[in-house]
Amino acid sequence: QSLNLYMAEPNGRKLDALYQLAWERGLKTTYYLRSLGATGAEKTAPVAAPQPQVCSIDEPDCEACQ
């Protein structure tokens, strides 16, 4: 048997105790150790800055150029 592990805040002491317990219980392997990411930032799409409105001389219907 093998086991995937998840710890929210792993540290050396906790990991040692966890692997020691797994060994004492006869677990042959531990497969993955997962934890929270390094940052708690939300994944969002970047907001594009609004483009300035410019007038084109080639546009015959531009009210500002009339």
**Residues constituting the chain:** 66
Q: What dihedral do alpha carbons 27, 32, 37, 43 form, nearest 10°?
A: -130
> Structure pTM?
0.49
Does residue 16 carry a pLDDT above 80? Answer: yes
Backbone φ and ψ of 37, nearest 5°? -65, 165
Tens of pLDDT, residue by residue over 34-45, are 887 766 556 667
| 58 token code pair | 């080639």
